[in-house]
Chains A and B, each alone.
Chain A
Amino acid sequence: MDPSQAVREGLLPLLPRLRRLARALAGQTADADDLVQIVLERALSRAAQWRPDAALDKWVFAIARNAWRDELRARGRSQNLFAPEEAGVTAADATSAPAQTLDLAAALAALPPDHREVVALVLVEGLSYSETADLLGVPVGTVTSRLARARATLQAHLGKDA
């Protein structure tokens, strides 16, 4: 099979999840969809590298995570794409989220990238610790400790506002 066609066909049903992951990483809807576009272009240009025995979702999620990190680097020293307040307003622009989830979006956007990506992969996308560790190329213990610290930060933030 033409690998690019297999990847195209496989990616189509994954688009909603890819958009969700991008939203959790990049925050703002427009930026998240820009990220998705970059990811799709990269995935298609690298279709020949995809091994059929690898799950396509994990493969494309890894591309998304790397593209997001590249974008962060390209945008300079800032650790975050957006100021927390801005992300807080915009992350929920498509939803009528109650005030508490606005705060959560802001708190998530304020996390360091190492923490935000484990929250996005484990808590939003539902990957297991070991799948997340594979995807990030770090030991499982690193995933769990980052996740624990990210949770503590988010929970402290929510507790403060509650």
Chain B
Amino acid sequence: MNPIDDDTLQAYVDGELDAAGSARIDAALAHDEVLARRVQQARALRAQLQALFNPVLDEPVPAHLSALLRPASPQTPSAATPLAAASARRGFGAGRRRTSRRWLVPGAAVAASIAVLAVALWWHTGSGLVRMHNGQQFAAGTLSHALDQALASEPDPHAAVAIGLSFRSTDGRICRTFVAHGTPALAGLACHARAGWSLPALSAAEKPAGGELRQAASDLPPAVQAAVDARIRGEAFDARQERAARDDGWR
């Protein structure tokens, strides 16, 4: 067997090798103690760095920073209007302007256009709905935000992510099901962890029929439903429990 160089070993530890490459290192590790120790050291360094900086994720964000991201005056429909009109002329979605929510009423035609806007918004917020962290999938961006903030008891029919059930799992963590409308639509199970919302189940969802934007939790794909059944302890939260859990930071 060829000797394993440092670059290859590093790529192995960082999850950058393909399956064949990883398998080759796995095999070598089984009978090479020196190699195994190097891998262990590299993993330990990575873990120590995570332990040093991940607590920042749990710190409250200083108000002066989050304030920078709020529009100066929420009352002003504003300067945004000409811009939005201009972008509408170019055919680009004016999806989530605060001012537009009020006049978006249910109805097939309107719903269809909302769906188009939702998709535009979806891609607008980027492909960043899922991030990888130590080889695990975590919610990111809009998805992470919805899991943190949205309540199934107060559904927003125009939100890009609909929350279904929330419950406490057998390992004590709080988990929530969701459907993220987009192309493709995704459904999944998210469980709250120190590093964010891990995603033990993620699956393509059926496109909701007939312009129906929200998808009931009962419509979850079988893989997601199975993940719920495997974890749920007791009953799903009711509206009061869901709100209390949010107020408590999903702990």
Give the Cβ gap from A148 to chain B, nearest Cβ, in Å. Answer: 6
A114 within 8 A of B: no
B140 within 8 A of A: yes
User: Which of A5, A13, A20, A33 lies at the interface centre, i.e. has the most chain B CB atoms within 10 A of its CB?
Assistant: A13
CA distance A100 to B52 in the complex (A): 10
Q: Do residues A104 and B65 form an inter-chain contact, with CB atoms below 8 A?
A: no
Q: Name the interface size band of chain A.
A: 35 or more
Contacts A2-B83, A8-B70; A104 near B52 (Cβ below 8 A): yes
Binding site for A on B (CB under 8 A): 6-7, 10-11, 14, 16, 41-42, 45-46, 48-59, 61-62, 64-66, 68-71, 80, 83-84, 87, 92-97, 120-121, 123-128, 131-134, 140-142, 144-145, 148
A129 within 8 A of B: yes
Q: Do residues B125 and A1 form an inter-chain contact, with CB atoms below 8 A?
A: no
Give the Cβ gap from B41 to chain A, nearest Cβ, in Å. Answer: 6
Give the Cβ gap from A87 to chain B, nearest Cβ, in Å. Answer: 12
The 5 closest A-B pairs by CB, nearest first: A13-B145, A20-B56, A2-B80, A55-B126, A55-B128
Q: Do residues B126 and A54 form an inter-chain contact, with CB atoms below 8 A?
A: yes
CA distance A54 to B96 in the complex (A): 19
A102, closest chain B residue (CB): B52
A128 within 8 A of B: yes
Q: Which A residues are CB-close (under 8 A) to B46?
A: 123
Name the contact of A126 in the complex, choosing from B92, B123, B134 (C-beta under 8 A): B134
Name the contact of A124 in the complex, choosing from B53, B87, B131 (C-beta under 8 A): B53
B83, closest chain A residue (CB): A2
Q: Which B residues are CB-close (under 8 A) to A55?
A: 126-128
Q: Which B residues are CB-close (under 8 A) to A97?
A: 51-52
- 23 A-B contacts, Cβ less than 8 Å apart? A1-B84, A1-B93, A1-B95, A1-B97, A2-B97, A12-B145, A14-B140, A15-B61, A15-B69, A16-B56, A24-B49, A24-B53, A37-B64, A53-B123, A55-B126, A55-B127, A55-B128, A57-B131, A94-B55, A101-B52, A104-B48, A126-B132, A155-B41
Interface residues of A: mostly helix, strand, loop or mixed? helix
Q: Do residues B49 and A123 form an inter-chain contact, with CB atoms below 8 A?
A: yes
Q: Which A residues are CB-close (under 8 A) to B48?
A: 100-101, 104, 158
A6 within 8 A of B: yes
CA distance A10 to B126 in the complex (A): 9
A23, closest chain B residue (CB): B56
Give the Cβ gap from A142 to chain B, nearest Cβ, in Å. Answer: 12
A95, closest chain B residue (CB): B55
Q: Which B residues are CB-close (under 8 A) to A54?
A: 126
Give the Cβ gap from B156 to chain A, nearest Cβ, in Å. Answer: 13
Name the contact of A15 in the complex, choosing from B41, B65, B71, B121 (C-beta under 8 A): B65
A69 within 8 A of B: no
Q: Do residues A40 and B65 form an inter-chain contact, with CB atoms below 8 A?
A: yes
Give the Cβ gap from A110 to chain B, nearest Cβ, in Å. Answer: 14
Q: Do residues B141 and A57 form an inter-chain contact, with CB atoms below 8 A?
A: yes
Give the Cβ gap from A36 to chain B, nearest Cβ, in Å. Answer: 6
A31 within 8 A of B: no
Q: Which A residues are CB-close (under 8 A) to B120?
A: 1, 52
Chain A residues 106 to 132 lying within 8 A of chain B, measured CB to CB, are: 108, 119, 122-124, 126, 128-129
Chain A residues 5 to 51 lying within 8 A of chain B, measured CB to CB, are: 5-6, 8-17, 19-20, 23-24, 33, 36-37, 40-41, 44
A63 within 8 A of B: no
